[in-house]
Amino acid sequence: MKWDTCDPKTAYVLHLADDALILGQRLSAWCGHGPILEQDIALTNVALDLIGLARQYYGYAAELIGDGCTENDLAFFRDSRAFTNHLLCEQPNGHWGDTLARQFFFDTFHFFQLEALQQSSDERLRHIAAKAIKETSYHAQFSAEWIIRMGDGTEESRSKITQSLRHFAPFALELFIPAQVDAAAHDLGFGPDVSVLESDWKEKIQSILTIATLSPLEWGFPKKGGKSGVHSEHHGYILAEMQSLARAYPDATW
């Protein structure tokens, strides 16, 4: 199958699925390694929510592609250049503050994205968004509370979360730079104009930083390319680990 020649709707659904899968895969690495049991379980549940959301999108994309395509084909048998997730989602977990800074930026965006998708011209996307936004509201609350806790905590936690936020800020800017997949979705009415989500997103980000007694961010120069299939070196390692079993035993049944 030629993933780079699919129609605009399928390409957009795959983009949504790729974000959820790659970030869910990243977060799953924290299972058993969280700072305390409750937070370990909470972050693992966020990972499960995202992977469950990815399955809904991949299932829909497989239906649109037809020809016997399955969600497993889309998750496990595409190469890195065929994925169109944001660069932010594939960045390494780092320490706890790094993971929560990355999650804070994405969760806040994801909430506004799903809110907009509830107005999609595509009934299936509206249905998925209406269900997913309930979980994402919790995700956004969870990550924001941790930003506040670390920002208004000890001198060490404040220093570390400040560095983490500054590190991920340029990656977060890609969320609002329309790529071809975004533009086509918006032009055809089934996806939002991501550029208009930026002001609400930054306002929400700043409101949380204020509560956390953290200084306003200097966003820097955007780091982009993921939505066009140009990824960081980390992406291949994620896929190698995630896809190894399926590729080793492509005819296996579960």
pLDDT at 127: 98
Q: Tell me the C-alpha distance between 203 and 248, whole Å.
A: 47
CA distances from 203 to 4, 34, 70, 162 (A): 35, 30, 40, 18
Q: Which pLDDT belongs to residue 3? A: 55
Q: Indicate whether 254 belongs to any domain.
A: no
Is residue 2's pLDDT more than 60?
no
Range of the domain at 15: 3-248
Q: How many domains does the chain have?
A: 1
Q: How far apart are CA 203 and CA 219, in angstroms?
A: 13
Asked if residue 122 is part of any domain, the answer here is: yes
Distance CA 71, CA 57 (A): 8
List, for residues 156-175, the tens digit of each pLDDT value. 999 999 999 999 999 999 99
What φ, ψ does residue 70 adopt, rounded to 5°? Answer: -125, 165
Q: What is the pLDDT of residues 210-225, one digit of tens each?
A: 999 999 998 889 999 9
Global confidence as pTM: 0.95
Question: Is the pLDDT score of 15 beyond 70?
Answer: yes
Does 234 score more than 70 pLDDT? yes
Least confident of 13-17, 42-46, 61-65, 157-161: 42-46
1: confidence class by pLDDT, cuts 50, 70, 90: low
Task: Give me the mean pLDDT over the 120-137 stretch.
Answer: 97
Q: Which of 86, 102, 100, 108 is nearest to 200 (CA)?
A: 108
How far apart (Å, rounded) are the C-alpha atoms in residues 144 and 170?
19
- What pLDDT does 167 receive? 97
pLDDT value of position 209 = 97
Comparing C-alpha atoms, which of 70, 55, 66, 85 is closest to residue 7?
66
| pLDDT for position 39 | 78
Domain assignment of residue 237, yes or no: yes
Q: Which amino acid is at 58?
A: Y
Q: What is the CATH number of the domain that holds 226?
A: 1.20.1260.10
Q: What is the average pLDDT score of the chain? A: 94
Give residue 120's pLDDT. 97
pLDDT of residue 192: 96
Q: What region does 4 belong to: left with phi over 0, alpha with psi -120 to 50, or beta?
A: alpha
| CA-to-CA separations, 133 to 18, 33, 123, 211, in angstroms, rounded | 17, 27, 16, 24
Instruction: Kindly state whether residue 54 falls inside one of the protein's structural domains.
Output: yes
Evaluate whether 226 touches 90 at the Cβ level (below 8 Å): yes
